[in-house]
Amino acid sequence: MKGLTARRARDQHENGSSAAPQARKAPSIASRLTAEVAGTFILTLVAAGADVVDGVTAGTIGHAARYLAPGLVLVALIFAFSGISGAHFNPAVTLAFVVRRVFPIRLALVYWLCQLAGAVAAGLALVAVFGAQAHYGTTRIGLEISPLAAFGVETVLTAILVTVILGTCEEEAVVGKNAAIAVGFTVAACGLFSSPLTGASMNPARSLGPALATQTFTDWWLYVAGPLAGALLATALVQIVYGSATPAEHKAAHGKDT
């Protein structure tokens, strides 16, 4: 028996099956940018697509499902891509990492272009399927509130989201995939309680993509300025609460495997 066991061990060693697995190489820039395009495409397709289908079918999906869907898919996307690109999928998130000095501005500019490209592609996909009815996927003011009030809503909602993102970055144990549930559920919760006001975008790419695809630009500025202002507000709050950025935050911004 001992001889048989020794022979098997020798055969495994000769075949290389007992060798230790090699560490995965750091993702290339192309991989990281592709992850941002793909992730933003999927997130926008689900978020805007839920609104389009709900509008086309006269409310079949329902309010809760419309805002649970993007939150849940964001959880999945963070699990899938956080180790590659940091899973930003949102220009406001990228801006927050830049202000926290854990992400270079030059790379941020490229991330923003990729995020916008992914969102526009999602908007065009909805136009290809639904035609003119794809305008239901654009974010717009509701309940007859003023544009200034809507700007304030988007600022506060994004500040909540980015605070959660940066807060989960501060602890090594919850960086990346383990932060997915907190971030995804924050997106869903903000949408559930505030969507009748502004659509709860919290993401300039998610708003601009369908707007560009459908050529619908009503109040577009507040869906860019509001989330970016919210990101700045969140970084100020995090600086007060947590202080300067940690290595864990840098790892979260770039991806755990970079």
pLDDT in tens, 168-208: 886 654 455 678 999 999 999 999 999 899 999 999 999 99
Give the pLDDT of residue 251: 87
Average pLDDT of 113-118?
98
The pTM of the full predicted model, rounded to 2 decimals, is 0.88
Per-residue pLDDT at 88 exceeds 90: yes
Element (H, E) at 214: helix 204-214
The span from the CA of 91 to the CA of 242, in Å, is 22
| pLDDT of 11 higher than 80 | no
In the chain, the domains with their CATH numbers are 30-254 (1.20.1080.10)
Range scoring the smallest mean pLDDT among 18-22, 34-38, 117-121: 18-22
CA-CA-CA-CA torsion sign (51, 55, 60, 64): positive
Give percent of the chain above pLDDT 90: 72
Residue 203 near residue 97, CB atoms below 8 Å: no
User: Residue 10: its pLDDT value, please?
Assistant: 55
> What's the rounded Cα separation, in Å, for the pair 4 and 126?
63
Q: Which residue has the higher pLDDT, 157 or 65?
A: 157
Is the predicted pLDDT of residue 18 greater than 60, yes or no?
Answer: no
Q: How far, in Å, are 39, 70, 71 from residue 75 at the CA level? A: 11, 9, 6
Split at pLDDT 50, 70, 90, the class of 19 is very low
Structure confidence at residue 248 (pLDDT): 86
CA dihedral 214, 215, 216, 218 (to 10 degrees): 160
Which of 252, 165, 239, 250 is CA-nearest to residue 202? 165
Contacts of 148 (CB under 8 A, 6+ apart): none
- Measured between alpha carbons, how far is 215 from 250 in angstroms, rounded to an integer? 37
Among the listed residues 236, 238, 234, the one whose alpha carbon sits nearest the alpha carbon of residue 248? 238
